[in-house]
Structure 1
Amino acid sequence: MEAIIVAAVSPAATKAVSFLVDSLSQLLSENVELIRGADRDFQRLLDEIEPINELLAGDYAQLKSNNNDLDKLFQNIQRTVYKAEDAIDKFLIQAKIDEANFFNKIGPFVKWNNNRKIAPEFGKILEQVTEIRKQTQQVLEKTGIQSSAFQPGETTQPQGPAEEDVEVVGFNKPAEDVKERLCEGSKDLDVIPIVGMPGLGKTTLSRKVYNDSSLDFYFYHKIWIYVGTSKKPKDILVEIVKEVAQSNSKELIKDKDEDQLAHIIRDFLVERGKHLIVLDDVWDTQVVDFVKKAFPNKKSRPRGDRIMLTTRQQRVAEAVSARPHYLENLSKEDSIKLLEQRVFANKRTCPIELQGYRDGIVDKCCGVPLAIVVISGALRGCMDESEWRVVEENVGKHLINKDDHKSCLKFVETSYNHLPQEKKAAFLYFGVFPQGFDIPAWNLIRLWVAEGLIKSGHKDSEIEKVAETYLSDFASRNLVMVMQKRSNGQIKTCRLHDMLHEFCIIEAARISLFQQVYLQPGVRVFPSIEDPNTSRRLCIQSSIPYNFIPKDRIVQHVRSLLCFSSDQKQIDLSNLDVQLIPSAFPLIRVLDIQSLIFEFSKMFYGLFHLRYIAIKGDFTIIPSLFRNFWYLQTLILRNDDTNTSSSTLEIKEDIWKLLQLRHLHSDLPVKLPPPPTTTSNSRTSCLQTLSKVTPDSCKKTVFAKACHLRKLGIEGKLALLLGKERGFDSFQELRCIEKLKLLNNDFSEELHLPPHFFSLQKTLNKLTLSSTRFKWSEADMLGQLECLKVLKLKENAFTGKKWKPKKGSFSKLQVLHIVWAGEWETWDASNRPFQSLTHLALISCYDLKAVPHELADLPYLQEMKLTRTFQAVSSAIEIKNKILQRQDPESSIKFNLITFPPTPSTN
């Protein structure tokens, strides 16, 4: 286990210096002609900044976090590095523009002379960097510590457990008590508050109950809503309308007040079964009062609807219910069990020589699960007695004060201080997302890369794999909760506990990593941008009806504008003058704005530094604006759901000029133009993700250009690719494809799997088919894909009554999902396929008579889920019983059968 690192060296300053070193190194190696005339200045700057980078890369256990001189030094480093970075960015864009200028082509001296004009500005920056390098070395030398460079070859940490997979110690009895009130209590509307101090596990207990599949038998619909301090009753009611009336919610909520929204909800609920609504983190009784109004509660027709809520405040709980559920601290026995479970991963108990420290830590955590969990993350897998002693002493300094919820932050700080220096800024970045937000892992990783928060020295897909190890490490240290996992076991979505989120906000503000911009409740004056020299990232965390862009000045230092809504849905920036973005933030790199109606030409003209764009608006054509987006890495296009005029999105030819673009995501299928054939554009694209594109975009020339694709989604008329006598030969150009989705929406022509499909067999490990209507006899062709591990067949991907895979087929397949196979009756597995299968899900396979009994003999099968697959349930139970009879009780792999609707013998 690494030595404890006191949070003294600012991760923001460290990342800024590291990013600048990486940029300078790349600039000097790849743009020799572009920087001719200024290359010596860039090299001098690199020579001065590299020693600072090496000094900041070390682990400084002896530095004290309350050292004012250090704080001033790191702020000075940060400001100066930002100035250098701004100067480089401005120079590069001007050099790119000059490169295309006719006079520069015929007179290279003009370009060389223009490049030399940066000398005075760089001269001042060089003087400042030289002085900072001397100061940094002097400060660190006083401690007697020598810097250590970043050691590569970090091993991948195991994926963290999904929240529903974690055994919640000491919560079984409370969970049963709450479930009894939900399912067997009064027939009238009942409110069940779960109340307790921060960190006791109110949300965890609620999630445990909410995710219990037995509740699906009692409630027609379950709805989970995060409330927090910023939401008003109307916001909550709007979310409920969107849940109960998903198809036309936009029209229903327009111009409605709270009472009208409650009436709309009541009209929907009265015609349906009873509902459970969970309100997480409630601070005001008014929210509950308005939600209660939305329920039909006639005494003549009692329904048994329920509202479950979590709150820190006893007055709120007692005001809404005569019987609140008070969550108690864990007993010492359960505290020890939780600590050992998290530190030793259920493999062993605490060694005798460590039990004294264990007991001391548990006593000082006072039975608060959050404190135990975050301390466990710092000790995970540790067997070193000296490390346990240090942790116990550190915890002992900060006893939990039940009257001061911020005292619990000290326990978070302990685990944070154990993080390697290069990971701290990436962890604090979680704070840019709203509290209670389920964060998509793929999007978080894209943002980390664009923000320069991942250690330099990696290129292309490698840097994203490093980012995945960062996220896995945070999960294994119990710093983030894994909400969902992918079928291959990787993290899909994650969330930060409220207390850790608060820590990230406070620490990020202290080191100027990012600034939140939001309106305080009841305050009409918009907050200003604090210290524009260090506010690199502005995070809009709630709907703001005012124009936050300064009209009278340019904020060159701002690199990121992230607009997230606190309700995770949409953000209202209807009054935002998007034309001001380029003029106010000319060097911006990350732009993530939801729910905007804008003109592309006005929105993006001049934003040449962008590395990440995520926008939502009403558009069907992306015009020719990309020609100057030389650095763009990720483009995410979310179409406004009010737009029904088109089912595709058209992008112009300039997309192929983005030679650094790696990821293109769109919720509408994108129609890609063929790449230009000129020799100047012969370089292959860096594209790794295309999700989604139209079938007619899948030309040989397109895939030859994007030959490094790893993930591809295709939606539309698949007959263009898979129809009779149609070619799939363009896919032979894809050398690295790992994940493929084929989504058909046209049934005018019969589809077939062509022979060329098997050009993918050396790399393809995940395949999703939807509405393709292949014959089951063709499914054997998929069984030949030697690397296929995950197969998802949806919406009649295959048709016919019988499927009998060939012997030895699907030998590497681990996950099989079949959703709605309409005619499927018989599944014959007598040839013993699927020898590596671990997870099977059958959903809405109404006519399937039985699950093959041969599956009971599969050596690795861990879980089987049957949802609305009624006829096959009895055979699944027989398979479960057979597996359990032969399974070793001490085995770490336990077979699980889940059916819905649930049956007592399976769940």
Structure 2
Amino acid sequence: MADAAVNFLLENLLQLLSDHINLIHGLDDEFNSLLEEVQRLKVLVDDACKFQNDNDTSMVKEVQIIIHRVEDLTDKFLVQAKLHQQGSIAKRFHSTIISDFAIQIRKINDDLKIFHQNNKQAFTTNITVHIPKITQRITQGEDDEVVGFDEEAQQVMKRLVEGPNCLDIIPVVGMPGLGKSTLARKIYNEFEFSYEFFSIVWVYVGREYKIKDTCVRILKCFEKSIEEDVMNGDVDALGKAIRDAIRDRGGRCLIVLDDVWEAEVVDVVKRVLPGNNKGHRIMMTTRHANLASYANPGPYYMKPLHAEQSFELLVNRAFGNGNSCPVEFVELGQSIAHKCNGIPLQIVLIAGILRGLTDRRYWERVDKNLSQLYHLYDEEDKYRGVFVEMSYNHLPQDVQTCFLYCGVFPQGFDIPAWKLIRLWIAEGLIKPQQSPYTLEEIAEFYLNHLVQRNLVILSQKRSDGQIKTCRLHDLLHEFCRDEASKKWLFQHVRPTPDHHNYLRSIQDLDACRRLSIQPSDISEFLSTKPFAEHVRSFYCFSSKQKPINLSTMETKFIHNAFPLIRVVDVESINFKFSPYFNQLFHLRYIAISGDIKALPPPFGNFWNLQTLIINTSTSEPTLDVKADLWNLLQLRHLHTNIPAKLPSPTTTTGKPSCLQTLSMVAPESCEEQVLAKACNVKKLSIRGQMEAFLGAYKGGINNLEELKRLEHLKLLNDVPHYMNKTVQLPATFFRLVRTVKKLTLRNTRFSWSEAEKLGQLESLEVLKLKENAFVGDTWKPELGGFCKLRVLWIERAELETWEASNLNYPILRNLVLVSCDKLNAVPVELADIPNLREMKLENTIKAVKSAKDILERKKSKDEKFKCSIFPRDADHSEVERSVEFICLSATIFLSLFQLLKLNFPLLLQERTLRLSFLKASQGSSHK
């Protein structure tokens, strides 16, 4: 079938030509003619995409080559036009440039006309592809637990807990798709299991591991910041730092190594654990039985699911957890489950195809296809590619490309959903539709679709139940990389013994527009001084690692290598600007880290910029934005890790900004003119000293009235704790933010007597009160209000008494209490809220008994309810007794010490006399 990648490439090209037709002075006729030819080509490919055709591979490649030629030509001309516009090119050269480009455009036009004539009859009508509409999100209560793992988890946990006092390794071994990593995740996240180990560390290793990177990831789990000499040291230095960190923490440690391929990893991690008879453990997952036996002669072997478990998993994933299988589908479902060979990955992929399909014909078709595949392919193909490809082929074309794109991230990488969505949009994978949905909402629908089809694994949910992070199963990651390489979607750059192969591999892949590289390889790669004009995206992803330092010359090579680049995501390196960076006019997405004190004026020249992410390591309290952001009409999202000081707009008239996200800004930047220009903002985070802002100085908080679409608001007050001044909650607050669905307050120090007023926010669904957002010892909300509140999070509060009932929060679903160590009890009446499904208490020990009471009341009603308590679920009286015992022991010890101190001279004199007597006795016996 005509490739979806070609379709979106054509759409991007049409958009590029249409958007900048006014910039192309002197070549209007040529580019208009080119635009018409590309539109004809788009019609041809659209027709091809509607029908099945197995003989169009060469046509797809030919179309891609033509598209890339036009794209390169247009992009280069636009850069030249922009430089000329800025006076960087002398006018006498401009006519020569136009003449040269005109010749090239005419040549491409001629090629396009020939292509059209040769391919008009290339496609015949066949089976129409059904493309469903995708407008569904993950439901908040959806359970992604894999069936049949409870018994396995108990057995492995028993071995981890009850083993010897010395270091022990428990390997989990099995073929791909059996659920090794899922089992390890289940154990890693098991709340009760966390009591047994003071530290539990998760490290993804993978086939392309580097042993030093593995050690850095382990150390990063113990130390938030790693000293420079340790980071730059060898494996032995890192090992010593890990041992010291474990000793400092005390207790025993569990390190989970996921997807191990080499014995070297096991040997090194064994060496870094201190031999102190604490009973440290290593749990590892691997595909290789010989490696598992090397680590431990008795590994744990994963087994396929039996028939009942397979059918149960299929039903859960096809119809939703807790729902039964309709009678008319039972026999077909059992047949389908049987053909999946008891392999969970195969079952969930097929369930993803069947999900939401209530027509028996679809089930019969899937069963028939599986029967054919079962006989056509050997065992290795059955569990490797066939099931993945079958599920992939059932995706709508646009979603197929988005799925393949997920493989650009490293294997085992937890992908932030917001980052993935921003990248999809910047890459042009998400197209506007004739609907009220924004590009971000359409992208979110696509991601939910992939999760519901079980092609993408949901790693973490947000408090509102939506996707926070996701990842790919190893087999699906391999599939994405292989398919993406065939379709020239992206390419991973890998080191070779011959360093020149770096450069040669890029030049040989002229059609590949996106490159991804590991942080540990980037310095070596840049040393080759690569030049790849065809590359449009460059990625260097990392997880939990400190950004790598590169020289100014090395980062300059990035600017020189990719002159037409659109997407640059290099947060894993310390980025340094060069003058050439200012000429990368096509940039749509920038994600960088470094010692960045200000955003220089040239950033205002990136007319295509959509997303800007700046992580600065500067000691400055704010990031000074000197660029004219209001001139960037495509900018949708601004993310900074410190408050940004925004410039005032030069004019209040003209088109408003497209900004949807401002995270985060300084309070003094929230002027009326600024927010009036940013009137489309949906997510706003304000951080700094809030007193003047909340007091409406120069308009202050009243300026929020300009934001008519505001949905997420964070107010983060930076006033130190020792300043105990209580701030008044502004009376106009509720009128200004009535559209807000998610509200986060931190250190605002409002009075608890005012907290009930938040119930007036009729749209509020998530409320997070962190670190003395409210002060005082009592909260007694009045009846009414909080009618839509689903999530309530209270952290580091001085609250002692909380009186509430089910009428105060009628549809509350999740309750989280963190470090509320003075709170005597959670209102037991909250158990009467039918929607309440989950409660978590962390370091809130006094309220444990009441939490247990709520759990018991929920159980008595047979309602599904999860209650997590950390640290150990102990009764407060037991803790008090333990503390009293420690205090008593300390008192006794001090008394004994004083007694010994007073009588020490007498004791010393007595000891001297005893020794003299013994010596005299020994001398007499010898005589």
**TM surpasses 0.5:** yes
Question: Is 1:215 paired with 2:208?
Answer: no
**Alpha-carbon displacement from aligned partner over 1:446-479 (angstroms, at most 9, x marks no partner):** 1000100113447997111110100000000000
- Preserved contact between residue 550 and residue 574 of structure 2 (Cα < 8 Å): no
Alignment match, 2:333: 358
In structure 2, the residue corresponding to 1:544 is in which secondary structure? helix
- Partner of 2:883 in structure 1? none
Contact 1:638 1:666 in 2 (8 A): yes
State whether structure 2 residue 168 is matched by structure 1 residue 187. no
* Separation of aligned partners in 2, 1:79 and 1:510: 14
Structure 1 equivalent of residue 868 of structure 2: 898
> For residues 403 and 266 of structure 1, do their structure 2 counterparts lie closer, same or farther at Cα, with a shift above 3 Å needed?
farther
Does residue 52 (structure 1) correspond to residue 41 (structure 2)? The answer is: yes
1:366-381 correspondence runs (5 A) = 366-381=341-356
- 1:207 CA displacement: 0.7
Q: Which residue of 2 aligns with 1:261?
A: 238
Change in Cα spacing, 1:161 to 1:790, as seen in structure 2 (3 Å) is: closer
Judged with a 3 Å threshold, the aligned counterparts in structure 2 of structure 1 residues 82 and 179 are, in CA distance, closer, same or farther, namely same
- State the partner residue of 2:711: 738
Moved more, 712-721 or 828-837: 828-837
CA gap of 1:265–1:184, structure 2 versus 1, over 3 A, is: same
Cα shift at 1:269: 1.9
Aligned CA distance change for structure 1 residues 730 and 62 (closer, same or farther; 3 Å): closer
**Equivalent-residue separation in structure 1 for 2:93 and 2:170 (angstroms):** 76
1:234 match: 212
Alpha-carbon distance between aligned partners in 1 of 2:552 and 2:624, rounded to the nearest angstrom: 27
In structure 2, what is the equivalent of residue 728 of structure 1?
701
Q: Which has the higher contact order (CA 8 A, sep 6+)?
A: 1
Read off the aligned partner of 2:813 and give its amino acid letter: T
Aligned position for 2:655? 683
How much has 1:629 moved relative to structure 2?
0.8
Change (3 A) 1:522 1:745: farther
Instruction: Indicate if the aligned counterparts of 2:140 and 2:466 stay in contact, CA closer than 8 A.
Output: no
| Residue-by-residue CA offset, 1:285-326 (whole Å, 9 max, x unaligned) | 22112211222223xxx3122111101111111111122100
Q: Which secondary structure state, in structure 2, belongs to the residue aligned with residue 600 of structure 1?
A: coil
Cα deviation 1:303-354 (Å, max 9, x = unaligned) = 1221111011111111111221000111122111111221122465445554
Question: Aligned to 1:647, what secondary structure does the other structure show?
Answer: coil
Could you tell me which residue of structure 1 aligns to residue 136 of structure 2? 157
Name the residue aligned to 1:270.
Answer: 247
User: Is the aligned partner of 1:671 residue 2:645?
Assistant: yes
**Counterparts in 2 of 1:45-84, with a 5 A limit?**
45-57=34-46, 63=52, 65=54, 67=55, 70-84=56-70
Query: Contact conserved, 2:167 with 2:281, CA < 8 A, in 1?
Result: yes
**Cα displacement (A) at 1:639:** 1.7
Task: Answer yes or no: is the 8 Å Cα contact 1:532–1:558 preserved in 2.
Answer: no
CA distance in 2 between partners of 1:830 and 1:336 (Å): 42
Name the SS for the 1:386 alignment partner: helix
Deviates more, 1:894-903 or 1:437-446: 894-903
Aligned to 2:683: 711
Inter-partner Cα distance in structure 1 for 2:838 and 2:793: 12
Deviation at 1:825, TM superposition (A): 0.3
**Which amino acid in the other structure matches residue 775 of structure 1?**
S
| CA spacing shift, 1:144–1:863, aligned 2, 3 Å | closer
Alpha-carbon distance, 1:227 to partner: 0.6
| Counterpart in the other structure of 1:414 | 390
- Name the aligned partner's letter for residue 459 of structure 2: M
Unaligned runs of 5+ in 2: 877-927
> 1:231: Cα distance to partner?
2.0
Alignment of 1:50-199 (within 5 A): 50-57=39-46, 63=52, 65=54, 67=55, 70-98=56-84, 118-141=101-124, 143-144=125-126, 154-159=133-138, 165-199=143-177
Secondary structure, aligned partner of 2:620:
coil
Q: Which residue among 822, 837, 847 is the counterpart of 1:862?
A: 837
Equivalent position of 1:608 in the other structure: 585
Q: Is 1:592 aligned to 2:581, yes or no?
A: no
Local SS of the residue matching 2:592? strand
Residue pair 2:590, 2:611 contacting (<8 A) in 1 also: yes
Amino acid at match of 1:241: L
Between structures 1 and 2, the one with greater helix share: 2
CA distance in structure 1 between the partners assigned to 2:340 and 2:196 by the alignment: 38
| Contact 1:194–1:311 (CA under 8 A) maintained in structure 2 | yes
2-side partners of 1:110 and 1:291: how far apart?
62
Deviation per residue, 1:393-422 (Å, 9 max, x gap): 433444498974785111100000001112
**Which amino acid in structure 2 is aligned with residue 686 of structure 1?**
C
The equivalences for 1:396-545 within 5 A come to: 396-399=371-374, 404=380, 407-457=383-433, 462-520=438-496, 526=502, 528-544=505-521
CA distance in 2, matches of 1:95, 1:147: 43
If you compute each CA radius of gyration, which structure gives the higher value, 1 or 2? Answer: 2
Q: Which amino acid aligns with 1:712?
A: L
What is the distance in 2 between the residues matched to 1:338 and 1:830? 38
| AA in 2 matched with 1:555 | A
| CA offset digits 1:825-862 (Å, max 9, x no partner) | 01122693212211111111111111123312223222
Is the Cα contact below 8 Å between 2:166 and 2:275 reproduced in 1?
yes
Report the alpha carbon displacement of residue 884 of structure 1 after superposing the two structures with TM: 3.3
1:647 paired to 2:625: no
1:630 to partner: Cα distance? 0.7
Report the counterpart of residue 900 of structure 2 in structure 1.
none
Once the two structures are TM-superposed, the CA of residue 811 in structure 1 deviates from its matched residue by 1.9
Secondary structure, counterpart of 2:675 in structure 1: helix
Contact 1:232 1:287 in 2 (8 A): no
For residue 63 of structure 2, give the secondary structure of its aligned residue in structure 1.
helix
Q: Which moved more, 1:400-409 or 1:703-712?
A: 400-409
Aligned-pair CA distance for 1:736: 1.2
Deviation at 1:45, TM superposition (A): 3.1
Q: Which moved more, 1:208-217 or 1:81-90?
A: 81-90
Normalised by the length of structure 1, the TM-score is 0.89
CA contact (8 A) 1:365 1:372 kept: yes
Post-superposition Cα deviations, 1:856-899, rounded to whole Å, max 9, x if no partner, equal 222322211111211112222222333333x3x5xxx6222222
* Partner Cα separation in structure 1 for residue 586 and residue 17 of structure 2: 16
Q: Residues 315 and 502 from structure 1, CA distance in 2 versus in 1: closer, same or farther, beyond 3 angstroms?
A: same
Equivalent residues of 2:502, 2:528 under 8 A apart:
no
Whether the 8 Å contact between 2:600 and 2:627 is mirrored in structure 1 is: no
Q: Distance in 1 between matches of 2:857 and 2:177?
A: 42
**Deviations 1:513-544, CA, capped at 9 Å, x for gaps:** 11111225898953620544311111113521
Q: Please say if residues 16 and 81 of structure 1, whose CA atoms lie closer than 8 Å, have aligned partners that are also in contact.
A: yes
SS of structure 1 residue aligned to 2:184: helix
Which position in structure 1 is the counterpart of 2:558?
581
Does residue 871 of structure 1 match 2:846? yes
Comparing 842-851 with 856-865, greater Cα deviation is found at 856-865
Judging changes above 3 Å, is the alpha-carbon distance between structure 1 residues 600 and 276 closer, same or farther for their aligned structure 2 residues? Answer: same
RMSD: 3.2
Deviation digits for residues 55-78 of structure 1, max 9, x if unmatched?
43468686355x4xx221111101
Q: 1:735-762: CA deviations, max 9, x gaps?
A: 2111111111124554222233234333
Shift in Å, 1:720: 2.9
SS of the aligned residue for 1:512 comes to coil
Determine the structure 2 residue equivalent to 1:657. Answer: 631
Q: Which amino acid aligns with 1:48?
A: E
Deviation at 1:545, TM superposition (A): 5.2
SS in 2 for 1:746: coil
Mapped contact 1:194–1:317 kept (Cα < 8 A)? yes
With over 3 angstroms needed to count, the CA separation of the structure-2 counterparts of 1:675 and 1:337, relative to structure 1, is same
